[in-house]
Amino acid sequence: MHWFNNSKLFDLAKQGQRLPHIALVIPLAFIFSILSQFGIVPVVIIMGVFYGFTGSGISTPNNLSALTAGFWMAAQLISGFILTYIILWAWLRFIEKRPFWTLGYEIKNAVKQYARGFIFGMLMFVGAVTILGAFRSVSFESGDPNQQGVAAIGGVILVLIGWMIQGGAEEVLIRGWVLPVIGARYKAWLGLLISSLIFAILHGLNPNLSGIALINLALFGIFAGLYAMREGSMWGISALHSVWNWVQGNFFGFEVSGLQAQGGTLINLMETGDDWLTGGAFGPEGGVAVTVVLIIGILIVLFWKEKHQENITQ
């Protein structure tokens, strides 16, 4: 696995004048993530002006159309994560002295890599739902007809734009910056390990978190890190992460890491089996069905024969 220690992501990280010390990278990853969340404040204020505030938050009506709910969901996702890109751009420009694209966003093969990641992400989550179906642990759920099926298409598409920003932001911070900087300065395995742990910890305050969910978050971090390292680019894993969340929340109607996705759902499913398998209130990411899919994904990235890999770093 020559690509593991010699990923193009490491070469790109070395294009700056300096590689930050690990003791600086780890706390900055959390600081950058927290600062980015303040971007959502203006959207929350605007929503409050429209719908009013209550003691527990915004008094959003329950009868919003899927399109309107999708607009607000997309606005929250975009505003809550767009600052990640800006903060990283400023850090790279003024501290590391390298361009933003060196985080793994070269133009060559970008469309192909993004499309491939998009397809892989859909197939992976469909695989998890298939496992749940095989164990009769998922069924159709009745709901507001204005929030599901054909009536929800507009909202679902709008939310996808938000997920693209959100998924890409998490990836560019963790797999585009943390992993390559630590991997290039120290060891590849250390960059992969630290970045995966940071990713899991950043989701540690999500509601209904379980032990299996925490393990799956770390496993996703390992899978995503290996995918990005092997491809030598961030386009594919950014797409995979985004579509994973979108398919989970707005295609099948599950919770996304313990959070309810707004904007409607094309197919409204609910978990009916044991929580250890389905994930329960956390969503499928908290169950063993997703654990199996992630382990299979890791094995495929590690051992898929090179001759079958198109545009993969050798």
pLDDT score, position 307: 56
Each residue's pLDDT expressed in tens, for the chain with a length of 314 residues: 789 999 999 999 999 999 999 999 999 999 999 999 999 999 999 999 988 887 767 877 778 899 999 999 999 999 999 999 999 999 999 999 999 999 999 999 999 999 999 999 999 999 999 999 999 999 999 888 889 999 999 999 999 999 999 999 999 999 999 999 999 999 999 999 999 999 999 998 899 999 999 999 999 999 999 999 999 999 999 999 999 999 999 999 999 999 999 999 999 999 999 999 999 999 999 999 999 999 999 999 999 876 544 444 43
Compute how many other C-beta atoms are within 10 angstroms of the C-beta atom of residue 31: 11
State the pTM of this model: 0.93
Place of tokens 């409607």: 264
pLDDT score, position 310: 45
**Residue 130 one-letter amino acid:** T
The one-character DSSP state at 309 is: -
Place of tokens 């298939």: 130
* E strand residue ranges, 47-133: 53-54, 57-58
Q: Quick one: tokens of 310?
A: 């198109």
The values of phi and psi at residue 265, to 5°, are: -145, 145
- Sign of the alpha-carbon torsion through 282, 77, 109, 100: negative
Q: By three-state DSSP, how is residue 265 classified?
A: strand
Alpha helices in 92-210 (DSSP H): 110-134, 153-173, 179-185, 188-202
Q: By three-state DSSP, how is residue 203 classified?
A: coil
The 10 Å CB-count burial string (b at 16+, else e) for 234-251 is bbbbbbbbbbbbbbbbbb
Quote the distance between the C-alpha of residue 267 and its chain's center. 21
Parse the chain into domains and list their residue ranges: 2-308
